[in-house]
Amino acid sequence: MSQRIKTAISGSLPKPAWLAEPEKLWAPWQLQGEALEQAKADAMRLAVDDQLRAGITVIGDGEQTRQHFVTTFIEHLGGVDFVNRKTVRIRNRYDADVPVVIDKVVRTKSVFVEDAKRLRKLTKGPIKFTLPGPMTMIDTLFDDYYKSREKLAWAFAEILNQEALELAAAGIDVVQFDEPAFNVFFDEVRDWGVKTLERAAQGLSCKSAVHICYGYGIEANIKWKQGLGEEWRQYEHVFPLLANSTIDQVSLECQNSRVPMELIAMLKGKDVMVGAIDVATSTVETPEQVADVLRRALKYVDVKHIHGCTNCGLVTLPRDIAAAKLQALAAGADLLSKELGLD
Ligand code: ZN
C-alpha cells in the first residue's frame, strides 16, 4: 500500500449550473422530480471524476444531492416541519430560514444510504461520507418541542448513529460528522457535545471523523474571523476532549488561518486532516503552498497521521476554481511525500 500522504475534501464541491444556482448556499434546485434525481446522480459522477483526475485519494460525493449539509438531513426526519420555516441566528453569526422541530424527532427511513451505495460503485478506492454533527444540527433549526439543546442533541445522536451504521454497511470507509458549532459553544462541547458526537459514531466498523472549521467563505464568517484576533485558539477547548474520545480523525482549518499549528499536538494518536486549501478565496494555492502547510503540521504530528484536506466545503466557489484547488491539494501532498521519500 502506498505510504504517500492521503488527501480528501472536507465535504462539498460546487454544483453544476444545471443542477443548482452556482456559488450560493441553500441554492434552489433547477429541476424537479425524476429529472432532478437523474441530475443529482450525474453531478455526483462528475464530482467523483474531478477528485479522481486530480489524484485525491479518499473520495467524497461532493454533497451533490443536498441543498445544505444540515437542513437536507433534518428535512428527511419525522417530527420536523420544513414548510413553515423560522428564522434563527446560526453559530451566533448570521440569520437563516430553517426547519422547525414540532414533535419527537424520528428517522423513518434512510437519508443518504442510496447515495452512499451509488458513490461506492464509482470508485474502488476509499470513500468518505459526511453527516452533520448533533450540536451543529440543533444550531441550524428552530426547536419548538424539546426546549433543551442537550435533549435534542441526544435525540439526533441516536438518529445519526442509525444512519452512520447503514452508511458503513454500504461500504463507506470514513463517516465524518461536521461540527463547526464546536468552535463556538465551548461549554456545551465540554458538557455534552463530544459525548453526543461519540454516541453518533458508536459501534462503527469504519473510521469516524469530525470536521471543525471556521465556516464557509461567506461574508458573515469572514467578518467573524476578522474579529477573532491575532491567534485563533478556539481548537484549544476542543482538541483535548477529542484526543480522549473514540473519534478517529479530526479535520480542521489551517491554510490562511491564524490557528497556531502547535495546537494539533493535542490530538495525539488521531489522524489529523490538515486544511491546506482556503475556501474563502478564489486564488488557487500552489502545490508548494499546500506542501508548506502540511510540512508545518509534521512538526507536531507523525506523518502517518497527516492527511491533506480542504479547510471546509468548496460549494460556494466557481467550479473551475474548485477543480484547480483539488489538483493543487493532491500535487502538494505528492510533493511533500516525495521530499520525505514516501512511496
Ligand atoms: Zn467546514
What pLDDT, on a 0 to 100 scale, did the predictor assign at position 162?
98
Residue type for position 245: S
Angle at 199 between CA 198 and CA 202, to 5 degrees: 85
Write down the pLDDT at residue 150. 97
Residue 83 alpha carbon to ligand 1 centre in Å: 26
Confidence of residue 288 (pLDDT cuts 50, 70, 90): very high
| Strand segments (E) across 107-206 | 128-132, 142-143, 174-178
Ligand 1 center to 34 CA (angstroms): 30
Q: Considering the chain, what is the average pLDDT of its residues?
A: 95
Q: What separation in Å is there between the alpha carbon of 228 and the centre of ligand 1?
A: 17
Q: Which CATH architecture has domain 7-338?
A: Alpha-Beta Barrel (3.20)
Q: What is the pLDDT of residue 91?
A: 84
Q: Which amino acid is at 193?
A: G
Q: Mean pLDDT lowest for which of 100-114, 157-171, 220-234? A: 220-234
- Centroid of ligand 1 to alpha carbon of 11 (angstroms): 8
Q: What share of the chain is helix, strand, coil (3-state, %, to 5)?
A: 40, 20, 40
Ligand 1: centre distance to CA 13 (Å): 12
Q: Confirm if 95 and 142 have CB atoms less than 8 A apart.
A: no
Which band of pLDDT confidence, cut at 50, 70 and 90, is reported for residue 1? low
**pLDDT for 222:** 85
- H or E stretch including 128? strand 128-132
Q: How far is the CA of 215 from the centre of ligand 1 (A)?
A: 5
CA 278 / ligand 1 centre spacing (Å): 11
What confidence tier does 106 reach under pLDDT thresholds 50, 70, 90?
Answer: very high
The rounded Å distance from CA 296 to ligand 1 centre is 21
Judged against a pLDDT cut of 70, whether residue 42 lies above it is answered with yes
Which tens digit of pLDDT belongs to each residue from 274-286?
999 999 999 999 9
Of the spans 25-29, 45-49, 71-75, which averages the highest pLDDT?
A: 45-49
pLDDT score at 245: 98
SS3 219: helix
Tell me the CA–centroid distance for residue 251 and ligand 1, in Å.
9
Rounded to the nearest whole angstrom, what is the distance from the C-alpha of residue 177 to the centroid of ligand 1? 10
Query: For residue 12, how far is its CA from the centre of ligand 1 (angstroms)?
Result: 9
Percent of the chain predicted with pLDDT > 90: 86
Distance 341 CA to ligand 1 centre (A): 31
What are the pLDDT digits (tens) for 47-61? 999 999 999 999 999
> Ligand 1 centre and the CA of 126: distance in Å?
21
Hey, is 282 helix, strand or coil?
coil
Provide the pLDDT confidence category of residue 223 given band limits of 50, 70 and 90: confident
**Tally of CA atoms within 13 A in the half-sphere of 151 that contains its CB:** 10
Query: Which residues have CB under 8 Å from 141's CB, separation 6+?
Result: 70, 71, 74, 80, 88, 98, 99, 100, 101
